Each structure stands twice: as structure tokens, then as C-alpha cells.
């Protein structure tokens, strides 16, 4: 049985921004640092064959756009933020699927913790 090769991936890891996301009023008032990891699945062969940036995702542009969402309009839930980031990535026609992980490293859980994350995977429908 033939194995399906793993998809090609472009990853932006540890993109950081200061946002005002959260359910609690103090989160909305003082803000905090958030981090994002985005793993895009796509076929990079056409870009590689032609050495053509137009056939892939410009990760510098992608990082700027992800950052704008991260520091942009506040939302209550990390799940909502993750979905917005995933939708942005799937807006690139060459992207087949994306995994987004949103980190909230300054989270206050009332007990010691390094981080809380929400990770989602979305595919082009």
C-alpha cells in the first residue's frame, strides 16, 4: 500500500504581541502578552521548481498579518482568536490546512502555571 507523503509545511513559531483578549475586565484593561504558532500545510513544489515567491506564502507578510490580528480587536476566548488566525491563513489560496496554537503565558489560574494554549486545526473545505 502506497503511503501518502506528509504535507509540506511553513511554520511561524513564537510570534508575539500584546493584546487585550480575555473574559475578565482586568484582562481587557491591562492587557498581556500572547504568542502564536502557525503551521501551514501546502504544496511547495511549484514554488521550488520556479524559485517563485508568488507560488507559495510569503512568511514575512504572513507574520505581519497574524500579528495585526493578535494585537487587534479583543475577543473573550482564545478559541475565537485562534479561529480568526486560522481563517486568515486559509485565505491564502495555496494553503490546504493550518494548525494554530495560541499561547497565553501570563495567564492567572490561581495556581502556578507556565502557559495555557488553545490549538486548532482547520482544512480548506
C-alpha to C-alpha distances, 22 to 73, 74, 101, 104, 117, nearest whole angstrom: 11, 8, 16, 10, 13
45: left (phi over 0), alpha (psi -120 to 50) or beta: alpha
Catalytic residue among 75, 104, 115, 118: 104
d(C-alpha 106, C-alpha 2), whole Å: 46
70 is catalytic: no
Q: Which residues are catalytic?
A: 104
Amino acid at each position: 500500500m502506497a503511503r501518502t507523503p506528509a504535507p509540506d509545511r511553513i511554520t511561524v513559531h513564537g510570534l508575539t504581541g500584546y493584546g487585550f483578549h480575555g473574559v475578565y475586565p482586568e484582562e481587557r484593561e491591562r492587557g498581556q502578552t500572547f504568542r502564536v504558532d502557525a503551521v501551514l500545510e501546502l504544496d511547495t513544489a511549484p514554488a521550488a521548481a520556479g524559485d517563485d515567491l508568488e507560488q507559495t506564502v510569503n512568511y514575512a507578510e504572513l507574520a505581519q498579518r497574524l500579528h495585526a490580528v493578535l494585537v487587534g480587536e479583543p475577543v473573550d476566548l482564545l478559541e475565537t482568536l485562534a479561529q480568526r488566525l486560522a481563517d486568515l491563513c486559509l485565505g491564502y489560496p495555496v494553503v490546504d490546512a493550518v494548525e494554530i496554537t495560541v499561547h497565553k503565558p501570563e495567564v492567572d489560574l490561581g495556581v502556578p502555571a507556565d502557559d495555557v494554549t488553545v490549538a486548532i486545526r482547520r482544512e480548506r473545505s
